[in-house]
Amino acid sequence: MIIRNRDVLMSHGNGAGRAAVLDILEAGLKAPDPYDNVRKMVRIEDHRLIVGHPDFSDPPGQEPLVFDLAAVGSIYVVGGGKAVQRMAEALEDTLGDRITDGQINVKKGDSVRLRRIPVTPAGHPFPDEDSVAGARRILEIEARARKGDIVFAVSSGGGTATLALPVPGVTLADLQQVYRILYFECGANMPAANAVRNHLALVNTKHARYVADATLIQILSSEWPLKVRAHMYEPPKGANAHQAAIQVLQSYHCWDKVPQSVRDFLLKGDPQYGPIRAEEVQGKPHYGYRVIGPEYMLEAARARAQELGLQVMMLATSLNDVEAQPIGETLAYIAHEAEILGEPLRPPCVFVCGGELVVATGSATGRGGRNQEFVLAAAPRIAGSPNIVIASVDSEGTDGPTEVAGGIVDGQTLGRTAELGFDVARELENHNSYAVLEALGDTIVTGVRGVNVRDLRVVYVGDAEF
């Protein structure tokens, strides 16, 4: 079982509703493992290495790459992020001792499972010295690659921290401060934060800059559903990447808060450290494949709910970059509409959401994460309901700076918090959701999972009388 503390979660509250919600979460969390898809896409047949598959073809109908293994030089596997080790495991199991060298940076807390490829557990959400050391080794490996070699670069969410090698003139401490200010203090959405962070680091999205004439095959575990366009930060017309980063910092009122070294670097706007330019890669053998995304998790959750005899509505596959508290309250009100009016679905029913919310902590001292804050904010709005259960988890197993994946609440939660002496409104104001849910026995524990397709939110409404 992925959810390790199911017995604790089922020991109190709305038993039937909790059982259904946990079953749906379990099914959703099992689905987005990229291992099988990488094995399907990268394979060896008759002494040939074949890369590509119709399921992962972009554009559709793209022919697979075929390499004569006798003519291939060295094979390297590099990358960083929360889900990269599972992709690298698939490459190890396919290529075996044909892999010459590699370097994978994973989030600290993930177990090391690779046998041939070195693995460095690195800092996340804040980069650390291990992030720097592992990223530097990736640069060294990519610099060795020559024509006839193949470099597999695996990537997923989390690479901005685990592969954080600072640009010249910017220190690791400077990077850490930028990450803290943008994401936690100011609550910047991920695309906007990345518009700054990706230009302060040398690796992450820039493998193509360093592999020279070697064949580069990038394999992605995506945080965006396949058919949903990412609502990326749009820079002002005519702005280059450095100007766009400056505008992000100014729009979040933190330009004067970030270190002077960062401001100096962005103002200089040196293109050799910016995004990959077309002329750098023109005519080079570079290819990209997307092997997994949130739709695997969301569709599995939907299917399990239907197996349980529930009506299902996918409210949003990419509910991203908005504050967790108001979204928790809003979804609680939607659940009430279903419970009382039978709209937009007649119970028993489930509403499913994906995406990634944010929590701007400012100067608050509490501890929690976006999933825990989402469910705790919903608790007062469903107090007393015998039918509603709401849960939310991070697919990778750790919600914010905590060791739990998320949390679950029902109509009895608010009364139980009062018995324990908590004032939910005050705890939410201090962004202290973890302390409340942990005391209730309502944090959801999965451990670090090596998967990263954002979050899964489930709103359940049981049988109700009209």
Q: How would you write 66-108 as a 3-class SS string?
A: EEEHHHCCCEEEEEECCCHHHHHHHHHHHHHHHCCEEEEEEEC
Q: Are 219 and 152 in contact (CB under 8 A)?
A: yes
Please say whether the beta carbons of 316 and 298 come within 8 A: no
SS3 assignment, position 57: coil
Question: Please, what's the b/e burial string for 227-247 (b: 16 or more CB within 10 A of its CB; e: otherwise)?
Answer: ebeeeebebeeeeebbebbbb
Residue 466 burial class via C-beta count within 10 angstroms: exposed 0-12, middle 13-18, buried 19 and up: exposed
What is the mean pLDDT of each successive set of 10 residues along the chain, which is 466 residues long? Answer: 97 97 98 95 96 82 92 97 96 98 95 96 94 97 96 94 95 95 83 88 90 95 76 58 90 94 94 84 90 96 98 94 95 97 96 94 90 98 97 95 96 97 97 98 95 96 80
E strand map for 166-273? 215-221
Which of 199, 328, 365 shows the shortest CA–CA distance to 273? 199
98 and 69 Cβ atoms separated by less than 8 Å: yes
Per the structure block, which two tokens stand in for 40? 């399907």
Backbone angles phi, psi at 29, to 5 degrees: -70, -25
pLDDT digits (tens, 9 = 90+) for 107-157: 998 999 999 999 999 999 899 999 999 999 999 999 999 999 999 999 999
Distance CA 53, CA 65 (A): 9
**What CATH code is assigned to 35-292?**
3.40.50.10180
Q: Where are the domains of the chain?
A: 6-31+295-459, 35-292
Q: How many CB atoms lie within 10 A of CB 280?
A: 13
Residue 103: burial class (beta carbons within 10 Å; 0-12, 13-18, 19+) = buried
**pLDDT at position 235:** 56
**Integer Cα distance of 405 and 22 in angstroms:** 13
Handedness of CA 397, 288, 203, 91 (dihedral sign): positive
Residues 276 and 206: beta-carbon distance below 8 Å: yes
Threshold 0.85, pTM exceeds: yes
Q: Smallest Cα–Cα separation from 155: which of 87, 201, 232?
A: 87
Q: Which long-range contacts (CB under 8 A, 24 or more apart) does 245-253 make?
A: 245/195, 245/196, 245/199, 248/182, 248/188, 248/192, 248/193, 248/195, 248/196, 249/182, 249/196, 251/192, 252/182, 252/186, 252/188, 252/192, 253/186
For 141-157, the DSSP string reads: HHHH--TT-EEEEEE-T
What is the model's pLDDT at position 116? 96
pLDDT at 240: 82
Angle at the Cα of 81 (from 173 to 31), degrees rounded to 5? 150
pLDDT at 12: 97
| Domain 6-31+295-459, CATH | 3.40.1480.10
Tokens 């939310």 belong to: 392
**427-449: pLDDT as tens digits:** 999 999 999 999 999 999 999 99
- In this prediction, residue 13 carries a pLDDT of 97
Q: What is the pLDDT of residue 279?
A: 85
Q: Note whether 157 and 292 are within 8 A (CB).
A: no
Are 6-31+295-459 and 35-292 in the same CATH fold?
no
